Structure 1
Amino acid sequence: MLTYDLERRGDLPRYDYLYRCIKGDILSGRLAAGEKLPSKRALAAHLGTAVVTVENAYAQLLAEGYLTSRERSGCYVAQVETRQSPPPPPAPVQTAPERRWLLDLRGVGSGIEGFPFSVWAKLTRRVLTERGPALLRAVPHSGVSELRRALARHLYELRGIQVSPEQIVVGAGAEYLYNLLVQLLGRERVYGLEDPGYSKAGRVYALNEAECRFLPVDGAGVPPEALEGSGVQVLHLSPNHQFPTGAVTPISRRQAMLRWAQAGDRYLIEDDYDSEFRFSGRPIPPMQSIDQSGRVLYMNTFSRSLAPSLRIGYLVLPPALLDRYRDRLGFYSCTVPAIEQYTLALFLSEGYFDAHLNRMRVFYRDRRDRVAAAIQASPLAGRCRILHQEAGLHFLLELETHRPDRELAGLAAERGVRLSFLTDYQHREGSAPPHTLIVNYPALDPEQMARGLEELAALLG
């Protein structure tokens, strides 16, 4: 006779618990195929429960095929595949606590230092009040029209780009947009990437089975002669502030790249990721603003200027690609929630973003100057040189040392100092100069840097 302790059922109904017990015995092989089960009345009396409890359990097992019924004979175990006893559950993964560094030159931090929480909260409440249930409806695949109109005006006023809202596609961050780009332009194309350069774009293209080739970067970006004969058909570049070298591509080289793109069925993807932060002179105009043939696809995000967790980015497509985009990718749903799109639209159109950006430029310029001053006042002074601090949220620090970068990074980590070198972003050996640190300064506290800089200076050898 089957014996189960129905008092161990917890919050489950009696019939459900009994059904689970019998099913488990069938799957484990303890109840063999063809074996007859006790009658409903006999099992109910044995378990001390109501007949209806057994009837409901048997009925569910019959419905799922674990039992078969024979007229005037009773219920029998069906022929099903049995399983071995389940393995013990894996031990919980022990995640190491995040390390607290004495000095972290790699951490980015950007965006969250001065996030306008009160303004954002006020605009979010306003959107909830004014939009109401409409926020729950699906939004257009390219983004809500209010945000695309606000972005078009923002691009004209801040970056000198004249585009229509119809050319703008809103998406959840740069990585998502990279996926759209490779699907739009085609996986069969050869994609060129800067070396050293930002690695995520190449990884996304490669995961989409596109061939990637890495092109050298000098003090002015990718040399045009490197493009000729490379076989590249789409070049992904950051001409206004290349990461990680900080190089700015001059107008003559930009024009040469546009001629290269016009000469064939080629495109330039202009990743303008931190163009908002330029601390000397006027902002560098983007390549898209001088493109007369529709060969530049412009992209940017709000990860650096607002916060990475917002996951809001956008593409500007040439008019000639709009029909292809709608045909190939128009079935996608927009990946940015409606409430965040409407809130950002108000933040842009009512001048809050401009005010925020002006405050953050002042904040980051001051932070950069104080970090640089801390370095110059440390034992590193005389053994280092600061480079490319005119724009962006990082600068380079060229060290006087004979230690290999990897060895120096390992020794520094042992002393609580986290380093990031240009060579960490190279794809081919020798494509980045050695002994050059990338100093991401937004999250650094200049008042707490002295001891870490002393440790680093002691390791230079």
Structure 2
Amino acid sequence: MLTYDFSDISVPLYEYLYNRLKEDIRTGIIARGEKLPSKRTFAKNNGISTITVEAAYEQLMSEGFVYALPRRGYFVADITAIPDTSKKGSLCLDITVPEKNSGDVIKVDLSDNGTDPDNFPFSVWSRVMRSVITNKYDVLMKPSPTGGVRELRQAISEYLKSFRGMLVDPDQIIVGAGTEYLYGLLIQLLCRNRAICLENPGYHKSEMIYANNGIECRHAGMDSDGIIIDELRKCGADIVHVSPTHHFPTGITMPVSRRYELLSWANEKDDRYIIEDDYDSEFRIRGRPIPPLVSLDGCDRVIHINTFSKTLASTIRISYMILPRNLANLFYRKLSFYSCTVSNFEQYALAGFISGRFFEKHINRMRLHYSRMHGIILECIRNHKLSRHCEVIENDSGLHFILKINTSMDDDVLRKKLLEKGVNIHALSEYYVGSSANDLHRFLINYSNLSAEKMNTALDAIYQCVFGDEARNS
């Protein structure tokens, strides 16, 4: 008769019994085809309940270690075909996970576009979230529509009307967990077997997403007004991805004349579309946000994409796109089987945050904060000895500017030297496709999560790298 010691165990009785029986079956102590004791007899012999024995037997049956015959009992199955998945000790496979700036200690990251935790309205957000849990518990458990809950899409629509002067039907709005996910939807909806034109220079991640989905990526150059329309025509693509309000990485704001040229290009042929990435348009140092390209579109050719990652927090993975009417109908016909990738809890919380006017207040507060931060960072540059050897290139939009350094040192060499000093910075030349823009000596300064102390540390490091001997003697 099988007997086990149950005096010192840290798991439920049935689980302990199941594990002991399984181990004995695996090791052959209990042989194939052997009959197990009846539940009543086994329980009595070990001083446990029949319910415990029954639970262990049922688990063994569900995994294929044991089978039952009516009125005859339980028998050990042939487990030769069952692989041994039991693991002893710790598991360490040879899997290489890339680490950002692996091996380097970063003291100052001038490419950091994160959010300072002190600037997030945690108290208001938690109050809104508690209200949602208390008052909307019934709808929180219902599946979200594929485009997002109506309440959030309505709140976004109202916000766009009052703050951006945009008239948008809530059913045009599709909510998703990050712009990368929305790009994936657009690829399925619009881009299969078609080429897409991207700005050069441009945001590498967008190109990586398109290319990894099998989309042919072509490029058009930039001038001081944005994407060059002649180059767009020459590339032969019928879909173009642009960021006209605040281009990344150059910071260019596309003037209205170029915007109308772009819209004219879209209207030259049927089935041409413009994907407008409006990622940080809410933040202007002076004046109101510039009306987006979609507000000038009278022919339903612009797909507008925006995110709350810049306006609220970089870790809030909530973005939305506004589809032209024909594409919205196509989306619901073709892709409505997808589930919305944002949880109901966050959707209703964000809806309450927007409709309660907390979002508008937060934007106004952050515009003031970033304006002050912008001034502080520029003052650090003006007061530093590097100022005699550099030039700030900026406009009134967004949360980064360009610092041009008067040096003959290669961009990549300077980057590596700075990294050795614990300063991470990206050169504008990194964002070009092709080699025509090597060593522009222009570098991106993102000040959304920067301080005067860190900026001065970075300026000291740049000066030492570029003017080493003079810096040591000064």
TM-score by length of 1: 0.86
1:155 CA drift (Å): 1.7
Candidates 114, 128, 139, aligned match of 2:144: 139
Report the counterpart of residue 197 of structure 1 in structure 2.
202
Report the counterpart of residue 343 of structure 2 in structure 1.
337
1:392 CA drift (Å): 0.5
Give the count of matched residue pairs: 458
CA distance in 2, matches of 1:250, 1:183: 31
Candidates 437, 442, 452, aligned match of 1:446: 452
User: Percent of pairs identical after alignment?
Assistant: 39
2:252 corresponds to 1:247: yes
1:44 CA drift (Å): 6.4
Equivalent pair of 1:305/1:357 in contact (CA under 8 Å): yes
From the superposition, tell whether residues 162 and 111 of structure 1 become closer, same or farther in structure 2 (CA, over 3 Å).
farther
Equivalent pair of 1:216/1:223 in contact (CA under 8 Å): yes
1:448 CA drift (Å): 4.3
Give the aligned residue type for 2:20: C
Equivalent pair of 1:19/1:57 in contact (CA under 8 Å): yes
Equivalent pair of 2:107/2:423 in contact (CA under 8 Å): yes
Equivalent pair of 1:29/1:82 in contact (CA under 8 Å): no
DSSP-derived class of the 1:381 partner: helix
Equivalent pair of 2:35/2:73 in contact (CA under 8 Å): no
Of 422-431 and 195-204, more deviation after overlay is shown by: 422-431
Equivalent pair of 2:197/2:220 in contact (CA under 8 Å): yes
DSSP-derived class of the 1:382 partner: helix
Give the aligned residue type for 1:155: L
Report the counterpart of residue 214 of structure 1 in structure 2.
219
Equivalent pair of 2:245/2:397 in contact (CA under 8 Å): no
DSSP-derived class of the 1:449 partner: helix
From the superposition, tell whether residues 344 and 2 of structure 1 become closer, same or farther in structure 2 (CA, over 3 Å).
closer
CA distance in 2, matches of 1:359, 1:51: 65
DSSP-derived class of the 2:388 partner: coil
Q: Deviations over 1:272-303 (max 9, x none)?
A: 11111112344322111111111101111111
Give the aligned residue type for 1:327: R
Equivalent pair of 2:132/2:349 in contact (CA under 8 Å): yes
Report the counterpart of residue 182 of structure 1 in structure 2.
187
Please provide the CA RMSD for this pair: 3.5
Q: Deviations over 1:8-47 (max 9, x none)?
A: 653232x64344334335446676656x568779x969x9
Equivalent pair of 1:173/1:311 in contact (CA under 8 Å): yes
Equivalent pair of 2:196/2:218 in contact (CA under 8 Å): yes
1:427 CA drift (Å): 3.4
Written as runs of structure 1 = structure 2, the 5 A alignment for 1:321-360 is: 321-360=327-366
1:431 CA drift (Å): 4.4
Report the counterpart of residue 235 of structure 2 in structure 1.
230
DSSP-derived class of the 1:438 partner: strand
DSSP-derived class of the 2:380 partner: helix
Candidates 365, 373, 379, aligned match of 1:367: 373
Equivalent pair of 2:125/2:349 in contact (CA under 8 Å): yes
Report the counterpart of residue 471 of structure 2 in structure 1.
none
From the superposition, tell whether residues 11 and 420 of structure 1 become closer, same or farther in structure 2 (CA, over 3 Å).
same
Report the counterpart of residue 428 of structure 1 in structure 2.
434
Report the counterpart of residue 116 of structure 1 in structure 2.
121
Report the counterpart of residue 10 of structure 2 in structure 1.
10
CA distance in 2, matches of 1:189, 1:250: 28
DSSP-derived class of the 2:415 partner: helix
DSSP-derived class of the 2:435 partner: coil
Report the counterpart of residue 81 of structure 1 in structure 2.
81
2:91 corresponds to 1:90: yes
Equivalent pair of 1:213/1:232 in contact (CA under 8 Å): yes
Equivalent pair of 2:411/2:439 in contact (CA under 8 Å): no
CA distance in 2, matches of 1:32, 1:100: 58
CA distance in 1, matches of 2:289, 2:435: 33
Structure 1, unaligned runs of 5 or more? none
Report the counterpart of residue 65 of structure 2 in structure 1.
66
Report the counterpart of residue 305 of structure 1 in structure 2.
311
From the superposition, tell whether residues 385 and 19 of structure 1 become closer, same or farther in structure 2 (CA, over 3 Å).
same
